[in-house]
């Protein structure tokens, strides 16, 4: 087991050893850290720290658990000069992410119609592992969608200007290309579909507001009904990742990399393999942004149908949409003290690679930030944010597990200096799917949730046990760590009215 030292509140440091180029930084309570030790996620933090060109630290969020190559909850920034891009640092479900939709309706208006709303959404939005989507596209149309993202849907009346503005990257990561015909074939029928696993659409109510000023700026209020959509790039993204992983395996040998885990297969950022992966990843990211946008369009129509009023009058609007699995070119401050929350003890070589000129100096540099099961938490002033969020810091959306509370937070300046502007993406699993199914059956999970007043709809009752609340960490405890460390500040707590599962 690695030697790990507590250097600040909920901040743990793994000193570089062996082939590690930078330290590991883990944000966790003692209980969360014990869970990470048990599933070998800390070893993955150390493995990521060995990657060529990594800058600052290999970082893990409090929802950390074992993943493919990188731990889920992992963040790592790479120099553009000698760094690498690793598909394991993004994941198979490229741009799995979440969007929060606010409404002008109150709890008392919606609660009696929760069942009708879920029925209407289940009818409109395909769930599960099937190949149906609510928007059928030809392969040629799909190629336009993955190149142009959500703005292409704007032309078709499936999005608004505000939707584009309030989606990360405005719903269109540039440079999309390099996807296989097999990925196109898998994806062209799946746009506007939920998928399976931990994906969901949840009707929620704002149960508590903790930051009145920020909530008012975002038009969030206690008792307000909201909708949260959690989904990704479906078979299109999975196929894109698979295609490029096969090519990356050869690149590791070609570039002479010695890796502690073959799941960390990678290539230099500027290499043909690296550029092609980033182009394919951008295509899958745009697919996912568009997928969630089309589902939001169907949510609006569902509200219209149930409440017999135009969605504009019901004020069904996008708060924000964020990516969980992605690698981004971003500008960050790289300094000798406090880079990525390292406790002020940074490997000097990694700082120099990222642009610092002399000891004690800091400078801004563009780096490639991998986020695997982590979300941006950009603080105030970042030009990437729409004006309303540039003043407050961006919305950070942290869903809970099925039937538990979820959280809305705001990004901070501290996140910019301690985690490359990142926070956790959810509660994080604490139990495997197989182990979860041994505790309760899907039917028992449904009955338990409905006894607590949460309406549940799912294509497969049997799969509900895999996503039961007990299979995940306590989201409140995870969010408490994020807030205590200062990566994001709490704005509002949301509780579920009903959930539609894949």
Average pLDDT over residues 239-255: 95
pLDDT at residue number 201: 97
What dihedral do alpha carbons 328, 332, 334, 340 form, nearest 10°?
-70
Contacts of 43 (CB under 8 A, 6+ apart): 2
Among all chains, which residue has been given the structure tokens 């966790």?
A: 28
Q: Kindly report the backbone phi and psi dihedral angles of residue 292, in degrees, each rounded to the nearest multiple of 5, phi listed first.
A: -70, -35
pLDDT at residue number 361: 58
The pLDDT confidence band at residue 335, using thresholds 50, 70 and 90, is low
The pLDDT confidence band at residue 345, using thresholds 50, 70 and 90, is very low
Cα separation, 465 vs 442, whole angstroms: 4
Q: For 37-57, write each residue's pLDDT tens digit.
A: 888 999 999 999 999 999 999
Q: Is the pLDDT of residue 359 over 90?
A: no
pLDDT at residue number 337: 40
**Token pair for residue 310?**
């135009």
Query: pTM higher than 0.85, yes or no?
Result: yes
Cα separation, 295 vs 305, whole angstroms: 15
pLDDT at residue number 346: 38
Q: Quick one: DSSP state of residue 345?
A: -
Q: Which residues are catalytic?
A: 425
pLDDT at residue number 350: 47
Lowest mean pLDDT among 37-51, 192-206, 348-362, 477-491: 348-362
pLDDT at residue number 362: 64
CA atoms within 13 A on the CB side of 13: 21
């Amino acid at each position: 087991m690695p030697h790990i030292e507590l250097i600040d509140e909920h901040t743990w440091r793994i000193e570089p050893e062996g082939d590690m180029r930078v330290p590991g930084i883990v944000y966790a309570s003692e209980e969360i850290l014990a869970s990470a030790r048990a599933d070998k996620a800390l070893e993955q933090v150390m493995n990521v720290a060995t990657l060529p060109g990594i800058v600052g630290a290999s970082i893990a969020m409090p929802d950390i658990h074992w993943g493919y190559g990188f731990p889920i909850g992992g963040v790592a920034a790479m120099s553009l000069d000698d760094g690498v891009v690793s598909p394991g640092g993004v994941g198979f479900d490229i741009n799995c992410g979440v969007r929060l939709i606010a409404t002008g309706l109150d709890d008392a208006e919606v609660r009696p119609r929760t069942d009708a709303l879920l029925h209407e959404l289940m009818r409109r939005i395909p769930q599960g592992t099937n190949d149906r989507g609510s928007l059928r596209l030809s392969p040629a149309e799909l190629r336009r969608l993955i190149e142009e993202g959500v703005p292409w849907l704007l032309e078709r009346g499936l999005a608004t200007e505000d939707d584009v503005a309030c989606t990360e990257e405005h719903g269109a990561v540039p440079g999309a290309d390099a996807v296989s015909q097999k990925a196109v074939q898998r994806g062209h029928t799946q746009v506007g579909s939920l998928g399976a696993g931990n994906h969901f659409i949840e009707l929620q109510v704002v149960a508590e507001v903790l930051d009145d000023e920020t909530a008012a700026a975002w038009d969030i209020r206690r008792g307000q009904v909201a909708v949260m959509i959690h989904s990704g790039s479906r078979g299109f993204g999975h196929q894109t990742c698979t295609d490029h992983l096969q090519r990356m395996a050869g690149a590791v040998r070609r570039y002479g990399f010695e890796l502690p885990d073959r799941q960390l297969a990678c290539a230099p950022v500027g290499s043909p393999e690296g550029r092609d992966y980033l182009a394919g990843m951008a295509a899958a990211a745009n697919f996912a942004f568009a997928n969630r946008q089309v589902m939001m369009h169907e949510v609006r129509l569902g509200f219209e149908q149930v409440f017999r009023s135009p969605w504009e009058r019901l004020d069904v609007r996008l708060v924000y949409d964020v990516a969980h699995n992605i690698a981004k070119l971003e500008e960050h401050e790289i300094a000798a003290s406090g880079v990525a929350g390292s406790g002020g003890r940074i490997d000097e070589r990694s700082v120099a690679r990222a642009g610092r000129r002399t000891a004690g100096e800091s400078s801004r540099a563009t780096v490639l930030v991998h986020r695997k099961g982590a979300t941006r938490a950009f603080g105030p002033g970042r030009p990437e944010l729409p004006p309303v969020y540039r003043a407050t810091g961006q919305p950070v959306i942290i869903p809970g597990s099925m039937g538990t509370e979820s959280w809305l937070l705001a990004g901070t300046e501290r996140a910019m200096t301690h985690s490359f502007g990142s926070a956790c993406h959810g509660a994080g699993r604490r139990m495997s799917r197989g182990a979860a199914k041994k505790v309760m059956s899907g039917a028992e999970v449904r009955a338990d949730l409905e006894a607590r007043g949460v309406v549940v709809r799912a294509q497969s009752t049997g799969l509900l046990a895999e996503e039961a609340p007990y299979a995940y960490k306590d989201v409140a405890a995870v969010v408490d760590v994020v807030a205590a460390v200062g990566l994001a500040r709490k704005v509002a707590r949301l509780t579920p009215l009903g959930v539609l599962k894949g």
